[in-house]
Amino acid sequence: EAQVTQNPRYLITVTGKKLTVTCSQNMNHEYMSWYRQDPGLGLRQIYYSMNVEVTDKGDVPEGYKVSRKEKRNFPLILESPSPNQTSLYFCASRGDRGVNTGELFFGEGSRLTVL
């Protein structure tokens, strides 16, 4: 089954404790992206990756890091989480839009609470 898998789905942590949210896709997609979703603000892009070893900042990259060492994985790293990073996080992937509709496939989300 084609899917984007995120872990953990739920996490409560404390300020300053480094954490990583993993994301894996099994569709051989080149493009992957991280979004955060907050009430009243909608989905905002954090980082994206066009392919292996290629990453770029989205609209709200501060406080986050990413890496793309393999095509299927795109982890989101919070080196020193702060309460304003409490949010619902989504990983998404997309294949070559010349081939398909260019639709984004989203994971189920990771709800992060930073105390």
The answer to whether residues 64 and 76 touch, using CB atoms and an 8 Å cutoff, is: yes
Taking alpha carbons only, the member of 50, 39, 64, 56 closest to residue 94 is 50
C-beta closer to other proteins: residue 38 or 79? 38
18: which residues sit within 8 A by CB, 6+ positions away? 77, 78, 79, 80, 81
Binding site for other proteins (CB under 8 A): 4, 31, 33, 35, 40-45, 48, 50, 56, 58, 88, 90, 92, 97, 101-109, 111
C-beta closer to other proteins: residue 14 or 54? 54
C-beta closer to other proteins: residue 79 or 96? 96
List C-alpha distances in Å: 66 to 19, 47, 78, 98, 109: 12, 7, 9, 26, 17
Rounded to a whole number of angstroms, the minimum distance from the CB of residue 106 to other proteins is 3
C-beta closer to other proteins: residue 34 or 75? 34
Rounded to a whole number of angstroms, the minimum distance from the CB of residue 13 to other proteins is 19
